């Protein structure tokens, strides 16, 4: 597979509402595989197609539910890979949580963003089959961040507080 170039602000593709995916053929499957490889190489926890200059409603996410709770006594949790095609948030909790986010398309900056604590996402998998995912905490945050990308929204649009992180700050990047 190939590692794709990740576009950065101010590239206009990041500000466009992406088009719906209707063709799940060979070219699309190659794009999905290349995006997964690109996300892992970056390294990031998520990647949306507009970030690789493809204006389609496609998101890949790889995250372990207890990734934040790893310690020396327990082995690292297995990461779960999500491929969301034409994703839509259908349920949002009233409870909001402030958290720090970074973005592969907005290098060297992070910001505090208010996100829903729990969401339900309806989408198609990479083969066009319907899926529904209930997510909470960081996974819900990652999904919201990536779905914003396919709407042409960056995390910097949702915050007034953006800064350059210290070298010792670990921030999951999409």
**72 catalytically annotated:** no
- 49 in Cβ contact with 55 (< 8 Å): yes
Distances (CA, A) of 14 to 42, 49, 104, 155: 18, 9, 12, 11
Exactly one of 95, 117, 146, 170 is catalytic; which is it? 146
- What is the Cα–Cα distance from 65 to 77, expressed in whole angstroms? 8
In degrees and rounded to multiples of 5, residue 107 shows phi and psi of: -65, 150
β-bridge mates for residue 80, sequence order: 63
**5-21 burial, b if ≥16 CB within 10 A, otherwise e?**
ebbeeeeebbeeebeeb
Q: How many residues does the chain have?
A: 174
- Report the side by side order of strands in the sheet with 106-116: 96-103, 106-116, 162-163
Q: Report the catalytic residues.
A: 146
């Amino acid at each position: 597979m190939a590692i794709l170039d990740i576009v950065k602000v101010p590239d206009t593709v990041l500000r466009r509402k992406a088009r719906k995916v209707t063709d799940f053929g060979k070219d699309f499957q190659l794009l999905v595989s290349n995006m997964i490889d690109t996300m892992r190489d970056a390294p990031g926890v998520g990647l949306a197609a507009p970030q690789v200059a493809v204006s389609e409603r496609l998101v890949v996410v790889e995250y372990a539910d207890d990734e934040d709770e790893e310690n020396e006594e327990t082995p690292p949790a297995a990461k779960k890979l999500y491929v969301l095609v034409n994703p839509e948030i259908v349920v949002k909790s009233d409870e909001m949580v402030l958290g720090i986010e970074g973005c592969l398309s907005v290098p060297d900056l992070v910001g505090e963003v208010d996100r829903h604590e729990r969401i339900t996402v309806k989408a198609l998998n990479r083969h066009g089959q319907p899926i529904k995912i209930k997510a909470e905490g960081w996974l819900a945050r990652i999904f919201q961040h990536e779905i914003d990308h396919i709407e042409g929204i960056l995390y910097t649009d949702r915050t007034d507080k953006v800064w350059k992180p210290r070298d010792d700050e670990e921030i999951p990047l999409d």
